[in-house]
Amino acid sequence: MKIPETLISKYNVPVPRYTSYPTVPFWEEKHVDRTQWLKNVKKTFNASNDENGISLYIHLPYCESLCTYCACNTRISKNHKVEDSYIDAVLAEWKIYCHTFGKTPVIREIHLGGGTPTFFTPENLQRLIRGILSDSKLHQDYAFSFEGHPNNTTYDHLKALYEVGFRRVSYGVQDMGLKVQKAINRVQPYENVKRATEDAREIGYTSVNFDLIYGLPFQTEAGVLDTMAKTLELKPERIAFYSYAHVPWKRPGQRAYTEADLPDSAEKRKLYESGKALLLANGYYDIGMDHFSLPGDDLYKAYQLKTLHRNFMGYTANHTDLLVGLGASAIGDASTAYAQNVKTVEEYKEIVAQGELPLEKGHFLTEEDILIKEFILNIACKGELFWGYNPDILDFNALFQLNSMAKEGLIKLYDNGMRLTDLGMAFLRNICAVFDKKLQGKKENNMPLFSKAI
């Protein structure tokens, strides 16, 4: 499907990726109240733990080198002596939450992100997970996943994590062209990606994900198609085909190249559409927000059943109301509140050593926030939204934008709701933004808060 240039031009504006609402720049608590946060956590835990369980996101920030495209919170080091003290701190933070729960948590999901989780030795990763599980029970439908770097994810890493319950691995592939890899300081031969994928499957992993990025410096359509062709040889169960977020004012590493090295908006969109067409032609389904899945994967099944969920870990097939974030910069979601840990490793460990949660900023949701959060989740996860016949739900500005999108063919608009069209899936972030009252009220400043939609 060729997208009209007029739509690309109109909607190529800075908008969030909506892993939360309100999004992080609009959180109101610059120094979140720990007592109030724990009250929200406890309330959500009591309401949902026994049936749905809880999710854990554990941030392992260490990397041996800086990938210049990356916007994650990382700590660059080749000193692996840092591993033990960091894991000790994460386990100590977990103990604080367990004390707050007052009864045994039921773990539904664990995701190890970073950074590079496989910076840590297999033995230390096992120590971390076993330490978490020693205070917990497993949900009958638990799902554990981790992010791996193809260059340093060894057979022993995969085996060790498999032994403690992991069945899904996500590899940061980005692009398989050498010129692009050199520009972003992430040179990883195809052979390493192939080895890491085949090792995972040999051990018994049931789902492999590739993270790919379009819009990187020096990318061409031929290069993206070559990356896709190599990806299709390995047939990962899931693919995240992300738009590169060029935010050098936030991430100085991105100044290693200039905007002149990046494809322009029309070229960038062509990279995406060409790559997407190849995926769809080879059995993948577009489930939204640049995510694709084979029909046998749990993510696609959840999409079909309209049980897909979205949180700070991205799309997930398991919906839990409580997400506990552990580690430096990790974010927690207690359904009616958000909180993020301090970002530096030193401050994180220092606060945890004092027996305190290392919280920094956060947000306690109002009734309006909760309603809008539900709206955005329905659009992002189900491709539809029904608001009933309450005329107070939508303001004039939202109705005006929705009518315009309906005329452009992005949505089908009804008296009491809307559904996205196939064309509208390409502008999912923009459609979510219609309901984002924090974004609508934002005053422009010198630098945008978010990457562009395209």
298 a known binding residue?
Answer: no
The answer to whether residues 427 and 389 belong to one domain is yes
**Which of 332, 364, 396 is the endpoint of a domain?**
364
Looking at residue 388, its pLDDT comes to 76
d(CA 302, CA 317): 5
Number of domains in the chain: 2
On average, the pLDDT of the chain sits at: 92
259 a known binding residue?
Answer: no
The answer to whether residues 84 and 184 belong to one domain is yes
75 a known binding residue?
Answer: no
Looking at residue 66, its pLDDT comes to 87
d(CA 275, CA 218): 16
Tokens of 97: 């939450």
> Are 158 and 201 within 8 A, CB to CB?
no
63 a known binding residue?
Answer: yes
| pLDDT for residue 432 is more than 70 | yes
Tokens of 287: 């489930």
The answer to whether residues 140 and 189 belong to one domain is yes
70 a known binding residue?
Answer: yes
**Which of 347, 364, 381 is the endpoint of a domain?**
364
381 a known binding residue?
Answer: no
- Residue 378 CB: number of other CB atoms within 10 A? 19
432 a known binding residue?
Answer: no
The answer to whether residues 3 and 68 belong to one domain is no
| pLDDT for residue 391 is more than 70 | no
Owner of token pair 């994900």: 209
Give the tens place of pLDDT for each residue, 134-178: 989 999 999 999 999 999 999 999 999 999 999 999 999 999 999
Looking at residue 448, its pLDDT comes to 59
The answer to whether residues 14 and 32 belong to one domain is no
57 a known binding residue?
Answer: yes
The answer to whether residues 284 and 416 belong to one domain is no
376 a known binding residue?
Answer: no
SS3 46: helix
Q: CA angle, corner 187, sides to 182 and 192, nearest 5? A: 160
Give the tens place of pLDDT for each residue, 223-277: 999 999 999 999 999 999 988 887 787 777 788 888 889 998 888 888 988 999 9
| pLDDT for residue 18 is more than 70 | yes
The answer to whether residues 171 and 123 belong to one domain is yes
The answer to whether residues 133 and 82 belong to one domain is yes
Give the tens place of pLDDT for each residue, 379-390: 999 999 998 766
Read off the CATH number of the domain in which 5 is found: 1.10.10.920
Give the tens place of pLDDT for each residue, 393-416: 678 888 899 999 999 999 999 988
The answer to whether residues 440 and 452 belong to one domain is yes
116 a known binding residue?
Answer: yes
11 a known binding residue?
Answer: no
115 a known binding residue?
Answer: yes
How would you classify the pairing of strands 337-341 and 331-333? Answer: antiparallel
**Which of 325, 346, 364 is the endpoint of a domain?**
364
Please state the separation of Cα 444 from the chain's center in Å: 26
266 a known binding residue?
Answer: no
Smallest CA-to-CA distance from 213 within 271, 252, 259 is with 271
The answer to whether residues 292 and 241 belong to one domain is yes
174 a known binding residue?
Answer: yes
The answer to whether residues 36 and 170 belong to one domain is yes
Question: How many helices (H) and strands (E) in the chain?
Answer: 15, 19
196 a known binding residue?
Answer: no
Read off the CATH number of the domain in which 126 is found: 3.80.30.20
Is the pTM of the predicted complex or chain greater than 0.85? yes
- Kindly state the average pLDDT of the residues 352-375: 94
> Are 152 and 187 within 8 A, CB to CB?
no
Q: State which residues form the domain around 395.
A: 1-22+366-454
The answer to whether residues 338 and 393 belong to one domain is no
Looking at residue 405, its pLDDT comes to 97
